[in-house]
Structure 1
Amino acid sequence: MREICRKVLRPAAIIAGLSSLGGCSWVLFNTKGSVGLQERDLIILCIGLMLIVVLPAIVLTFVFAGQYRSSNHNATYMPEWAHSTRIEVVVWGIPILIIVTLAIIVWKSTHELDPYRSLDVPGQPINVEVIATDWKWIFIYPELGIATINQLVFPAHREVTFSITSNSTMGTFFIPQLGGQIYAMAGMRTQLHLMANEEGKFRGMSGNFNGPGFSDMKFIATATSEADFQHWVKQVQTSPNRLDFNTFQKVARPSQGAAIVQFSQVQPGLFKAVIDQYVGPGADAAAHAALELSASSKREE
């Protein structure tokens, strides 16, 4: 009875496990950006090279276990065997070749996929300044003088240059289908260059746990046609909201599930002012403001 249960339950468990993979999203392999395509190909190539060692090792584990089991009296018994040059060459030589190959590939791709490196594509890039707060994203278009909360829109087939910082805890700016993931850190500016190869809506997120509102720190990145982008810009410019530093401090207060908000006017240099809170003369004022905010939150609790 026990043997029958084992024969029935084991395949059933395997089938159940495999069926659960149906809910997995292979978003990194369904890339829609030029950077994402290169990163996808790099992942596949590296996995393929490593499987050259992994797969034979798995297969030979079962072959050796079956061939040299105690009940197999036909197996050659060599208790004095200690060394084989051919085996040593294979066991050490192939992994060394793979490691050298991987090192060359990683060295080359690290420079080609440097997030600070501009993409080799025609046209004027769109500049977007990104500020991570608890727990929402603020996008500023400095040349256009507009800003949004949790809404990122840009033309497809055109480079987007992101300047990224954080107003509080460290997070990561990540649009999986377009490629690249880079940290957003207070008092620092990081950069990322991306381009969508087609129009569409792509999920954006923070890939770094940074508090109770982390799961809601999401946005939709929309790649549009040039005409639709210009139409969206004009629509944002009709908003009555203005984003200056005082408004930003109110917007940046911790909140969860923040709705999309648009600003038709943005204080010039706001992105730099956010960074300067934590460096130079503004650091003391920022620390004082943070203490005041913390005290206010405790009073409300």
Structure 2
Amino acid sequence: MKALKRGMLLLTMLAIPLFLAGCDRLIVFDPKGPIARSLTDLIVYSIIFMLVIVVVIFVLFGYIVWKYRARKDDGDFEPKEEKGNHTLEIIWFAIPIVIVIALMIPTTKTIYEVEDVPQGYEEEEPLVIHVTSADWKWIFSYPDQDIETVNYVNIPADHPVQFKMTSAGTMQSFWVPELAGQKYTMANMQTKLYMVADNPGSYYGRNTNFNGRGYAHMDFEVQALERDDFNEWVQEVKDTANQLTEDEYAELLKPTIIGRKTYNQTHLQWIDHAHGGSEKYLNPELYEIHHGGEEPAADEQTENTEQEQVETEENASESSSHEGHSHH
């Protein structure tokens, strides 16, 4: 009976992660680009390798427990004292080293591989997009096209893209699991990430680093477009989008939850947060937490958030005219 209960408990524990995994698609195992495929292959290799180790250990553990279990006919038997076996000791010492090396070599190789333009795209000039994370939104700047978007980014399919990433304040984590790996954005410094989408489509991205009450809403969409469609979208933004002003950008950096926005010009003409100066645009009072009293900053922030959400809904119908064709 006890063995049956233990077996049922083990099956339940194994079924829970499988059940939860079925609640949503494991997009990290569904790569849509060469960089994501390299990372997925590394993850699968590591899982299989470690699973083999775990199975071997459990088999040996079960065998030893069974072989050397206490028996009724043992009587007063006492095993003789042994000084150990030098050969076995060397083996037990060498096995972990071999395991670490077997994981380290492909991991190091893959890390260096994804830090450069993927193979087959070396002759193409990457599209450069500056990524600035703020609370709680993502700002994408196209310096060559002189346009800027918020909470969505359009890229040409089957073409390398280089993201130059920084943060206007807190450290955050940029991740598009179907297209590239995760990398942090940090104030006063710049990190770089390459990305290629095999085919046109919509890809989910988000912040994976907890950074406050708006963290759960800090996601974005990557739209991979055909080359002609991408060029058409850029021209449409230039013809229809509002100009980004410094005052408008200062409003964007406030800790709010907003929808998508599109602008002509980029904030890079005033500030590149990778080189400092963020304090000019950030108000520390908006981040204050008051206990047991009035919260003027928080109340004001809530009103701003509600107003931004209303503006987002009104702006959605306006922006759909120059963003709608990008949805396939």
Give the TM-score, by structure 1 length: 0.83
Residues 53 and 273 of structure 1: is their aligned pair in 2 closer, same or farther, counting only changes over 3 Å?
closer
TM-superposed deviation, 1:267: 5.3
Residues 20 and 59 of structure 1: is their aligned pair in 2 closer, same or farther, counting only changes over 3 Å?
same
CA distance in 1, matches of 2:162, 2:108: 24
Q: Counterparts in 2 of 1:145-184, with a 5 A limit? A: 145-184=146-185
Residues 247 and 159 of structure 1: is their aligned pair in 2 closer, same or farther, counting only changes over 3 Å?
same
CA distance in 1, matches of 2:64, 2:20: 32
Equivalent position of 1:236 in the other structure: 237
**Contact 1:168 / 1:186 at 8 angstroms: preserved in 2?**
yes
CA distance in 2, matches of 1:43, 1:11: 25
**Contact 2:189 / 2:274 at 8 angstroms: preserved in 1?**
no
Equivalent position of 2:55 in the other structure: 55
**Contact 2:148 / 2:264 at 8 angstroms: preserved in 1?**
yes
TM-superposed deviation, 1:43: 2.1
TM-superposed deviation, 1:202: 0.9
CA distance in 2, matches of 1:8, 1:50: 23
Equivalent position of 2:95 in the other structure: 94
TM-superposed deviation, 1:192: 1.0
TM-superposed deviation, 1:254: 1.5
Equivalent position of 1:290 in the other structure: 283
CA distance in 1, matches of 2:43, 2:268: 41
**Contact 2:166 / 2:186 at 8 angstroms: preserved in 1?**
yes
Residues 203 and 235 of structure 1: is their aligned pair in 2 closer, same or farther, counting only changes over 3 Å?
same
CA distance in 2, matches of 1:274, 1:4: 60
CA distance in 1, matches of 2:71, 2:284: 73
Equivalent position of 1:42 in the other structure: 42
**Contact 1:129 / 1:271 at 8 angstroms: preserved in 2?**
no
Residues 72 and 174 of structure 1: is their aligned pair in 2 closer, same or farther, counting only changes over 3 Å?
farther
**Contact 1:135 / 1:213 at 8 angstroms: preserved in 2?**
yes
RMSD of aligned alpha carbons? 3.0
Structure 2 gaps of 5+ residues are 289-295, 302-328
Larger CA deviation: 152-161 vs 91-100: 91-100
Partner letter of residue 66 of structure 2? Answer: G
Is the partner of 2:203 in helix, strand or coil? strand
Q: Counterparts in 2 of 1:72-83, with a 5 A limit? A: 78-83=79-84
**Contact 2:189 / 2:273 at 8 angstroms: preserved in 1?**
no
TM-superposed deviation, 1:236: 1.8
TM-superposed deviation, 1:231: 2.1
Equivalent position of 1:261 in the other structure: 261
CA distance in 2, matches of 1:12, 1:99: 30
Residues 300 and 239 of structure 1: is their aligned pair in 2 closer, same or farther, counting only changes over 3 Å?
same
Equivalent position of 1:67 in the other structure: 67
Paired residues, number: 289
CA distance in 2, matches of 1:16, 1:48: 19
Residues 87 and 52 of structure 1: is their aligned pair in 2 closer, same or farther, counting only changes over 3 Å?
farther
CA distance in 2, matches of 1:274, 1:108: 28
Structure 1 gaps of 5+ residues are none
Identity of counterpart residues, as a percentage?
A: 28
Is the partner of 2:145 in helix, strand or coil? coil
**2:242 is equivalent to residue 249 of structure 1:** no
**Contact 1:131 / 1:271 at 8 angstroms: preserved in 2?**
no
TM-superposed deviation, 1:197: 1.8
Deviations 1:142-177 (A, max 9, x none): 111111111111011111011111112110111111
**Contact 1:34 / 1:195 at 8 angstroms: preserved in 2?**
yes
**Contact 1:165 / 1:275 at 8 angstroms: preserved in 2?**
no
Deviations 1:72-101 (A, max 9, x none): 759x97443442345334423333223233
**Contact 1:167 / 1:275 at 8 angstroms: preserved in 2?**
no
Equivalent position of 1:33 in the other structure: 33
TM-superposed deviation, 1:28: 1.6
CA distance in 2, matches of 1:16, 1:235: 50
**2:240 is equivalent to residue 207 of structure 1:** no
CA distance in 2, matches of 1:96, 1:72: 41
CA distance in 1, matches of 2:229, 2:57: 54
CA distance in 2, matches of 1:277, 1:171: 18
